[in-house]
Structure 1
Amino acid sequence: MKHRHPMFARYYARASLALERGVAAHRAALLNGLSGRVIEVGAGNGLNFRHYPDAVTEVVAVEPEPHLRSIAETSAGQGTVPVTIVDGLADHLPAADGSCDAAIACLVLCTVPDQDIALAEIRRVLRPGGELRFFEHVRAATSTRRVLQRTLDATIWPWFGGGCHCGRDTRTAIERAGFVIGRIERLTTADTRIPFPSTPQILGTAIRP
C-alpha cells in the first residue's frame, strides 16, 4: 500500500492554506468543547492544532505521509495543547483499546482504502461514550453530480488527489460502524469555499456506545 504522495503532499500543503479562509471556522467548530486525550486520524499538515481547546490534555496526531508529517511537526508548536506526531495508518491506529476520549476525522475518510476498517479502528481506540468528530466531504445531493463523482473516482481523482474519493457516503459508513450520530450539519461551497467535486461536506459528532 502506498503512503508516499510527494507531489500531492506539496500541492496540498499550499492549497490547504489558501482554503483556510472558508475552512478555519469549521475546524474550530469541529473541535469546540473537546477535552481529555484525542486522536486525530490523518492530521495532514496540522491545520487543526491551533484550534484545540485547553481542556484537551493530549493530541495523538497520526499522519502517514512523510512531507505532511514533517510540516505537522512544526505546526504542533503553534497550539496551546501537547501534540504528539506519529507515523501510522487509519486501518491500524497506534493506540490501545479504549484509550482515547475523542477521535477526529477531518478531510481524511475520503482517502482511506476501506472506510469500514478505518472506522472500526476509530471505534476500537475510543472509550465507551467517546466522541467521533467528523468534517468530511461526501457524495453530492443531485444524481448528475453523483454520476460525475463516481466517474472521477473510477478514473483520475484518486491519482490526482493522493487517494481521495470524492463521492463516498461517509455518513452511512459512520452509522454502519456502530456510531450514533448526534449533531450533523451539511455544508456547501458557499459555506466552506471548497469547490466541487469535493463538496458538499458534513460536520458533526457521533458517539461510540
Structure 2
Amino acid sequence: MGMTAWSEYAAAKSRLIGGLRGTVLEIGAGRGANFGYLSPDVSWIGLEPHDRTRAALLRTAAAHDLPSRQVLAASAERIPLPEASVDGVLSTVVLCSVSDLGAALAEVRRVLRPGGRFVFFEHVAAPSGTWTHHLQRIAAPFTRTFDKGCDPSRDIGTAIRSAGFATVEFDRYVRPGPLHIPFIAGTADN
C-alpha cells in the first residue's frame, strides 16, 4: 500500500471529520482541537479520561456553537453510553494510548448505530525492519510512562481491520522530519 503526501493529511481531516453527522462521540477528545472541523449541526459528546485535559476541553467546548455538547470522564475501553447510541465516533492520535486496544475498538463498535462511521487519524508502527520501527520499539517503554500511555509501535491499522467493522478504508501518510513517523487516516463503517 502506497503513501499519500503529507500535504493531503489536513485535507483528509477536513473532509472526513466534516462529513460526520448526527450524534458524534469523540474518544480522547483532548483539549478540543477538532471542533473547527465538525459540521455545525453535530451533537457532540467528548470522552476524556484525564482530569486536567478535561477541564481545558470543557472550556473549549463551551466556546463552540454546537446544538449539543457533553463531556464524559471515562476511557475508551468503558464508554458510558448505551449500545447503538451514536452515529459517528472520532479518534485522533488516541488509540496509541488506550490500555486495551481490542476493548476500545469493541466499545466503538458497540456504541455505533448500524451504518455508523468510525473516523480515525492515528500514528502507527512503521514497517518492521525499518530504522523508524526500531526507534519506536526502543521509545515505547518511555512514551508509555511519560506520554499518557502512548505506544508508538502499535499496529493500529491491523487492529481496526480485525475489529469486525463491515468496511475499513484508510490511507497511509508519513510526517516529514528526521523520524518519518507514519500515520493512517480513514473510516470504518459498522
Q: Write the distance in 1 (CA, Å) between the matches of 2:111 and 2:125.
A: 27
Residue in structure 1 matched with residue 155 of structure 2 by the alignment: 169
**CA separation of 1:23/1:48 partners in 2, compared to 1, >3 Å: closer, same or farther?**
farther
Match of 2:99 among 113, 124, 139: 113
The answer to whether the Cα contact below 8 Å between 1:43 and 1:61 also exists between their aligned partners in 2 is yes
1:173 and 1:127 map into 2 onto residues whose CA distance is 20
Paired residue type of 2:117:
E
What TM-score do you get using the length of structure 1 for normalisation?
A: 0.80
- 1:174 offset after TM fit, Å? 0.7
Query: Does 2:187 match 1:205?
Result: yes
TM-score, with normalisation over the residues of structure 2?
A: 0.87
**For the Cα contact (< 8 Å) 1:30–1:135, is it kept in 2?**
no
Q: Percent identity?
A: 38
Match of 2:5 in 1: none
Match of 1:28 in 2: 14
Confirm whether residue 138 of structure 1 aligns to residue 158 of structure 2: no
Residue type of the alignment partner of 2:90: I
- Closer, same or farther: CA 152–181 of 1 in aligned 2, 3 Å: farther
Match of 1:44 in 2: 30
1:25 CA displacement: 5.0
1:79 Cα shift? 2.7
Is the alpha carbon distance of 1:66 and 1:24 closer, same or farther for their aligned partners in structure 2, counting shifts above 3 Å? farther
Amino acid at match of 1:61: G
- Give the number of equivalent residue pairs: 182
- Partner of 1:109: helix, strand, or coil? coil
Contact 2:46 2:72 in 1 (8 A): yes
Q: Distance in 2 between matches of 1:114 and 1:179?
A: 18
Opposite residue 39 of structure 1, the aligned amino acid is L
- In structure 1, stretches of 5+ residues that fail to align are 1-21
Do residues 79 (structure 1) and 61 (structure 2) align?
no
In the alignment, structure 1 residue 66 sits paired with structure 2 residue 51? yes
How far 1:176 sits from its partner (Å)?
Answer: 1.3
Unaligned runs of 5+ in 2: 1-7
Between structures 1 and 2, the one with greater helix share: 1
Map of 1:122-161 to 2, 5 A cutoff? 122-141=108-127, 143-144=129-130, 145-153=132-140, 155-161=141-147
How far apart, CA to CA, are the structure 2 residues paired with 1:143 and 1:204?
25
CA distance in 2, matches of 1:173, 1:147: 20
Q: Name the amino acid aligned to 1:111.
A: S
- Please provide the CA RMSD for this pair: 2.1
